[in-house]
Amino acid sequence: MKDNAVTVGEWEWCIDDESRLVPWFNIYPEVEEKYTVKASESARIFKVQDSQKRSYYVKHDTPNSIREHLIAWFSSHARDLYESAEILRSAGIPCAEYPGWGKSGTESMILSVEIPDTVNALEYWFRVVPHNSALRREFLSNLSDLVGLYAKNSIAQSALTLENILVRNNGSEMFVLNPEGAEKRGEGLSRQEKIALLKPFVEMRGEISSDSATIAILESGIAEDSLDASDLWHEAVDKEEADIEENYWPENSDKVILDDSGPLCRIIRDGDDVTYVRNTIWHAERPLPDDSNSIAEEVSEEEAEKIWMDSFKAQLLRQQYPRVPLSWERRADGTSVIRYAATVESILDSGFDQ
């Protein structure tokens, strides 16, 4: 811990102002239970407010497995995130403010100041400005400037994605969120580190042309010239698609039909009836499809599973798909019903431009 370390109960905090913990931290289990906004098996994010009415998000890491406990004993995601944010802020890269982090045994917390009137860049691109060419151009320009700051300051970060960038609702500013793993390089960025920084552009492939991407990459200053910018773009796309084919999809495909929730879809159980519902491409839940907003077709269970799984793989690879399934009703009597998108809006919300 640094000089501004404070002890509260069994927790040690490194924080710029202890009043940020008042009053919520003394009753954090109850606050966490009531105000959680996102949760996984080993972490929860909840919203708090201090006595001065300042609002924050708190990420609480609670390791589960023996391996996770061992890793957390010797290192801390919270501390790494705190230090990474300091690297970005010292370089003038707009980033969420992380005023403190705490640790108790293998548990840790980190505090981030709420940035109001923002939405993550994935949702901004696909929901807010899908039909506004002027705002899309502004978005690409701002993203180019952001990536350019990383390149100018020789800062590598492997986890820069659209979900980890916040955008003002009016599109005027961007802020990096969760910059864990950011590192300052002494002699410039390697080829692979440059490619990693281009992931936000790659996530928009199919939505932007190769020429538009190449121009944005060139204007960021991360490439030596237009030919290098084009090569970087194609190398980044090839790497992303190879990672999906060889790593992400084989490791995660079963979660599309086995997990109760996830970024791609949610599962609703009613006795022995199971309904799988596709999320939007920005990972928000959509209303349960019915006869008023979808087209239902009964198929065999084997065919339904293939249609369902293939559509998600196509979505991840940003490929065209003939018809977009919004849900799969797997009924107790053995029948399967696929409900297809019936409107252009539902197709676009699913990440397909058809």
Has residue 69 got a pLDDT over 70? no
Has residue 2 got a pLDDT over 60? no
pLDDT in the model for residue 194:
98
pLDDT in the model for residue 21:
97
Question: Residues 154-183: what's their mean pLDDT?
Answer: 96
- Sign, Cα dihedral of 262, 266, 269, 272: negative
* pLDDT bucket at 76, cuts 50 / 70 / 90: confident
Has residue 247 got a pLDDT over 50? yes
* pLDDT bucket at 351, cuts 50 / 70 / 90: confident
Question: Residues 150-170: what's their mean pLDDT?
Answer: 96
Cβ-count burial of 322 within 10 angstroms (0-12 exposed, 13-18 middle, 19+ buried)? exposed
* pLDDT bucket at 197, cuts 50 / 70 / 90: very high
CA distance linking residue 28 with residue 26, whole number of Å: 6
| Joined tokens for residue 6 | 């404070």
Query: Which of 71-85, 252-266, 286-300 is the most confident on average?
Result: 286-300
CA distance linking residue 309 with residue 324, whole number of Å: 11
Question: Residues 23-43: what's their mean pLDDT?
Answer: 94
Q: Is the peptide bond before 289 cis (omega within 30 degrees of 0)?
A: no
Q: How far is CA 247 from CA 41, 204, 252, in A?
A: 21, 20, 8
CA distance linking residue 354 with residue 346, whole number of Å: 11
pLDDT in the model for residue 241:
97
What would the pLDDT profile of 45-54 be if each residue is shown by its tens digit?
999 999 999 9
pLDDT in the model for residue 1:
40
| Joined tokens for residue 196 | 């990693």
CA distance linking residue 296 with residue 83, whole number of Å: 51
Report whether 230 contacts 220 (CB < 8 A).
no
Out of 21-25, 36-40, 239-243, which region has the weakest mean confidence (pLDDT)? 36-40
Question: Residues 77-99: what's their mean pLDDT?
Answer: 95
* pLDDT bucket at 72, cuts 50 / 70 / 90: low
Question: Residues 173-188: what's their mean pLDDT?
Answer: 95
Has residue 305 got a pLDDT over 50? yes
Backbone angles phi, psi at 4, to 5 degrees: -90, 35
Q: Which domains does the chain have, with CATH numbers?
A: 5-113 (3.30.200.20), 118-252 (1.10.510), 255-349 (no CATH)
Task: List Cβ neighbours of 243 (8 Å cut-off, separation of 6 or more).
Answer: none
Question: Residues 260-275: what's their mean pLDDT?
Answer: 90
